[in-house]
Every structure is written in C-alpha cells, then in structure tokens.
Structure 1
Amino acid sequence: MVATLDHLLLPLERALRTATGHDIAIEEYTEPDRYVVRAELPGVNPARDLTVSVYDGELKIDVERVDWRHHRGSEFRYGTFSRTVQLPRRADEETLTATYERGVLQVSVKVLPQPPISRCVAVAAADG
C-alpha cells in the first residue's frame, strides 16, 4: 500500500521540486577560508547549457537542457532548471570561481575573516 502511494505521489513531488526551483541537487560545505557549493548536473554542456551568476549575496545556477534529438520516449530531464543559494555574509563575490567536471559543478568563494568585535582606541591628551 505504501509503495503504491509513493508511486502515485512521485510525479507530484517532481512537479513541486521543479516549480520551486529545487530540481538541482546540491551539497554545501565550508573550508577554513572558502565556501563551496557542488551541484549534480550530469549530461550538461557547460559552455552551452550552464550559467552561474552572483548578485547581492546570492549565487544562482541556471541550466537549460534542450533535447536536440527527437526520441520516441525519454526519461532524461530537459528544460530549464534553476537553484539559488544564499552566500555567507562575508563571502568575497569577486573571488567566486566555477568548474565543471564529470557531471558536477563546483562553485567556490573566499570567505573573509570575521573582523574583531571591538578594539581599544588610544586617547591622546590635548596640550593646554
């Protein structure tokens, strides 16, 4: 019974993931001075199908896979997919890099160190 229900709900789940832009599977992690996002994008031609952009603290990954062949049937996913990820507060957007290898997009950005919360300021005595 549960397997049948899961089978019936799977198309709805896929539709909702696509509608909310979460159809791109990602993993995120932090290195000592970098924030890294990896996106699973098999079968993508990065020069033609993939756009990575950053604006106002958000990383956006856009993919458009076009079916160049006309199949009798296909379970491959074609169309437009998007995912937006909030970058850490101290991410240096100018250092963002992106590489694509073996079906995985890796985006990395340097994270600036946290400034000291407070510091002492020397007070100079005025003559007079």
Structure 2
Amino acid sequence: MKKYNYYFVIEFFLIIIAIVYNVNLYNFNKKLNDNLGENTSLIIRSFKMFSFEDGKAFNYLFGAILIILFASIIIASGWIKYFKYNISELLLINIICTFFNITIIIFTLVLINNPILWGFLVLCGVGSYIFFIMGV
C-alpha cells in the first residue's frame, strides 16, 4: 500500500482546496443573494451575477471548473489503471478516491446556485472524462 500514498496525498490536498473554495463561495453567495434579490428572472440574475463585484463570479466559476476537472481526471485515471493492469489493491483506493471526488463535485455544484452554471460545469466534467479516456 505504500506505493499508493501519492493517491492519498493528492486527495488530501484536493479536499483542503475544495473546503477552502466552498467556504469562500458560500460567503460570496450570501453577499450575492442579499444584493440581487430573489424576484428577478434567471437570465437577468445571471448577468447581474457576473457583473457583481467586478466579475468576481468568473473567478469562482474558473475555480469550480479546475476543481471538477481535477477531481474527474483523478477518478478516470485511477479506474483506467485498475482496468488496464488489474491490480486488486488498487480497487479499494479507487473506491475511496471516487467517493471523495464525487462528494467534492456535488458540494461544489450545490453551492453554485445557478442552473446555467450547473449545466456548464457538468459539461466540463463530462468533457474531461472524454478527453482523458481518448488520451489513454
């Protein structure tokens, strides 16, 4: 199991980064909801969201894309290695990594409270799977 310690180190850093990101995103969403209100339409709200605090939402969107892409690439690479080399001890590590990464993705998508952004980020995650699988 020692040769798989890098999986746990990568997961640990990804979890810390995702927690810090989600806490900051939660605070930003609270300020955003206080200023935008709930009665506006989704399209108008999306445009106002991106112009709020000099486009700070773009930074959070870019951060979410990076976290989701990184998490999905870790999941895909682990399972591809398992199926390619059929290493039995890698199965447990893949299950643990997949659980943590899907949890990170779900928490990130829950904190982004705009369906347009959800769709965009889901497309980015699916695209990263396809890109990574085609590259292997």
Q: Identify which of structures 1 and 2 has the higher relative contact order when contacts are C-alpha pairs closer than 8 Å and 6+ apart.
A: 2
Tell me which protein shows more helix as a share of its residues: 2
Normalising by structure 2, report the TM-score: 0.25
Task: Name the one with the larger strand percent.
Answer: 1
Q: Which of the two has higher C-alpha Rg?
A: 1
